[in-house]
Structure 1
Amino acid sequence: MSPLRVLIAPDSFKGTLTAHEAAAAIAEGWAGVRPGDQLELVPLADGGEGTLDAIEAATPGAVRGSRDGVTGPDGRTRHGEWLKLPGGVAVVELAQIAGLPFMSELAPLSATTRGVGEIIKAAVEDGAREVWLALGGSASTDGGLGALRALGAVALDSAGNEVSEGGAGLKEIASLDFAGLLPIPGGITLLSDVTAPLTGPTGAAAVFGPQKGATPRQVDELDQALQSFARLAGHSPDTPGAGAAGGAGYGFMAAYGAGMDSGADRIAELVQLNQRIRTANIVITGEGSFDDQSRTGKLVGNVLQRAADAGVQSAVIAGRVAADAGTWALGLDELAGDPRKAMNEPAHWAAAAGKCAAESLGAGMAQPPLRPLT
Structure 2
Amino acid sequence: MRERPDNGGADDCRPLPRRGPARRDGSPGLSTAAGVVRVLVATDKFRGFASGPTASRAIAAGLRATGCAADVRSVGDGGEGTIDAVWRIAGGHRTRLPAVDAWGRRVEAQLLRLPTGETLIEAADVLGVANRPDPAGLPPPSTALGELIRLVAPVVRDLLVVCLGGTAVVDGGIGACEALRWQPWGPPTLVAADVDIPYASVVGRFGAQKGVPGHLVDQYESELRRASEVLRARSGRDVAQIPRAGAGGGLAGALACLGADVRGGFATFDALTGFSRSMGHADVLVTGEGRVDESTWLGKAPGELLRAAHRKGMPAGLVAGAIDDGSRTTVGAMCRHWVALNEQGSASRRTPEVALYHSGAEMGKAIRQNRDGS
Q: Does 1:362 pair with 2:368?
A: yes
Q: How high is the sequence identity, in percent, across the aligned residues?
A: 26
Aligned to 1:164: none
Aligned to 2:214: 216
CA distance in 2, matches of 1:183, 1:296: 29
Aligned to 1:192: 193
CA contact (8 A) 1:319 1:331 kept: yes
Moved more, 74-83 or 351-360: 74-83
Q: Which structure 2 segments of 5+ residues have no match?
A: 1-33
**Aligned AA for 1:63?**
H
Aligned to 2:65: 32
CA distance in 1, matches of 2:93, 2:202: 33
**Aligned AA for 1:196?**
I
CA distance in 2, matches of 1:233, 1:145: 8
CA contact (8 A) 2:109 2:121 kept: no
C-alpha displacement at 1:125, in angstroms? 2.5
Aligned to 2:86: 55
CA distance in 1, matches of 2:248, 2:305: 22
Structure 2 counterpart of 1:67, from 97, 108, 118:
97
Task: For residue 239 of structure 2, give the secondary structure of its aligned residue in structure 1.
Answer: coil
Higher helix share: 2
**Aligned AA for 2:75?**
L
Q: Does 1:5 pair with 2:38?
A: yes
CA distance in 2, matches of 1:362, 1:51: 32
Moved more, 240-249 or 356-365: 356-365
CA contact (8 A) 1:108 1:209 kept: no
Task: For residue 14 of structure 1, give the secondary structure of its aligned residue in structure 2.
Answer: coil
Change (3 A) 1:348 1:241: same
C-alpha displacement at 1:357, in angstroms? 0.7
**Aligned AA for 1:49?**
E
Change (3 A) 1:97 1:21: farther
**TM-score between the two structures when normalised by the length of structure 1:** 0.80
Change (3 A) 1:122 1:66: farther
Structure 1 counterpart of 2:273, from 248, 271, 274:
271
CA distance in 1, matches of 2:298, 2:224: 25
**Aligned AA for 1:121?**
R
CA distance in 2, matches of 1:42, 1:33: 20
**Aligned AA for 1:207?**
R
Give the aligned length.
327
Residues 98-132 of structure 1 show CA distances to partners (whole Å, capped at 9, x for unaligned) of 11111111366451333322332232232444211
Structure 2 counterpart of 1:252, from 248, 251, 255:
255
Residues 237-290 of structure 1 show CA distances to partners (whole Å, capped at 9, x for unaligned) of 313312111111122112x22221111122123333332212211110111112
C-alpha displacement at 1:321, in angstroms? 2.3
Residues 348-368 of structure 1 show CA distances to partners (whole Å, capped at 9, x for unaligned) of 2111111111111122289xx
Q: Does 1:329 pair with 2:348?
A: no
Aligned to 2:9: none
Aligned to 1:85: 114
Aligned to 2:354: 348
Aligned to 1:284: 286
**Aligned AA for 2:195?**
V
CA distance in 1, matches of 2:238, 2:339: 41
C-alpha displacement at 1:233, in angstroms? 1.6
CA contact (8 A) 2:77 2:299 kept: no
CA contact (8 A) 1:108 1:140 kept: no
Q: Which has the higher contact order (CA 8 A, sep 6+)?
A: 2
Task: For residue 80 of structure 1, give the secondary structure of its aligned residue in structure 2.
Answer: strand
Change (3 A) 1:336 1:24: farther
CA contact (8 A) 1:278 1:312 kept: no
C-alpha displacement at 1:82, in angstroms? 1.6
**Aligned AA for 1:75?**
G
CA distance in 1, matches of 2:59, 2:275: 19
